[in-house]
Amino acid sequence: MYNITFQQIEAFLTIAKYQNLSKAAGLMYISQPALSKTLQRFEEGVGIRMFSRGNQGVVLTPEGAYLYSVLQPLYGSLLRALETARTISSMPSKTIRIVMPEVYDISEIFKEAKHVIRKFEESYPQIVLMESLREFRELRDALEFGEADIAIVQDFVLNGLKDISYKRISDFPMYIAVSVGHPLAASDELKPEDLESEVFFRVAYTPEEDARETYTKECRLAGFLPKQFEFLPNVQTMIHKLLANKGLAICGKFAQFDEESAIKYYPLNLPGYQKYVVAAWRSEDQSAETKQFISALPGEVYLSAGIAAPI
């Protein structure tokens, strides 16, 4: 077992982010010598040198850069989980914790889901809905490990999760999104042969090997295979790279972009491969309030494998 503390992890992450000991010490409200000592103990506990030091400050070593990329999102999730646990006792007794993707407010596909939630609030004013937006991986973790009661999300994000049930709320039409500055945007229809020389952006919400297999299957169904998939950490990064005209994306429509402004959308035909926006929950251990929410949803209950649940 590594002999490290939360304070040491926080010190490492703060220094790694700013690569400046003086600034990091100020943000943590400790002296620079104390911060240096904390970092030294962290490096000794882990057994890895995290930074190389020079006249310009500190620079992450390759090992330190790798550890920062892995620890930073995990540490954020852990802090949120601790904060949730701390506030549970002070929450209203009738509460449902709902998580949605980070694109919930900018994507057209969640229009019906918003209507469902508002209707439930009107019907059950005594139940408080605590809503929060998460990246796909954080959303999956929140649902799987009990940090959330309900997830409103595209059904494919549930792939690989066990003991999860869901109801379908609405269809999720898929498109090939192209920046209006891309040469292909001048076409009324995209030809499969034109797409095979392109880079396609996708957000990886499962291990990259699994994601690559899924996306390859989708593209083959659509009649093409792109030159390359570039997997990105979140949708905002995908939008940024898309608008920078560095590739294409397979996604839903974003509400703040239309064909005459920044992004042009081409319907993606995937025969026999319909996708949905769903409300998902853990198959066991729902609260009475969560069961009320589930009962208020129309439609059939499915398991995460896409199989209708037994009655």
Local confidence band at 80 (pLDDT 50, 70, 90 cut-offs): confident
Please, where in the chain does CATH 3.40.190.10 lie?
91-172+275-303, 175-267
Domain 6-87, CATH class in plain words: mainly alpha
Q: What is the pLDDT of residue 193?
A: 92
CATH for 91-172+275-303? Answer: 3.40.190.10
For residues 232 and 122, give the distance between their C-alpha atoms in angstroms, rounded to a whole number.
38
Specify the residue for token string 């020079």: 54
Average pLDDT, the chain: 86
Fold assignment, 175-267: D-Maltodextrin-Binding Protein; domain 2 (3.40.190)
The 10s digit of each residue's pLDDT in 254-272 is 876 544 468 899 998 887 7
Please, where in the chain does CATH 1.10.10.10 lie?
6-87
Do residues 244 and 132 lie in contact, with contact meaning Cβ atoms separated by under 8 Å? no
Strands 228-232, 95-101: pairing is unpaired
The 10s digit of each residue's pLDDT in 131-185 is 999 988 889 999 998 889 999 999 988 988 889 999 999 999 989 999 999 999 9
Q: What is the pLDDT of residue 56?
A: 67
The model carries a pTM of: 0.67
Bridge partners, 264 (sequence order): 178
Q: What is the mean pLDDT of residues 62-71?
A: 89
Q: What is the mean pLDDT of residues 116-129?
A: 93
For residues 263 and 180, give the distance between their C-alpha atoms in angstroms, rounded to a whole number.
5
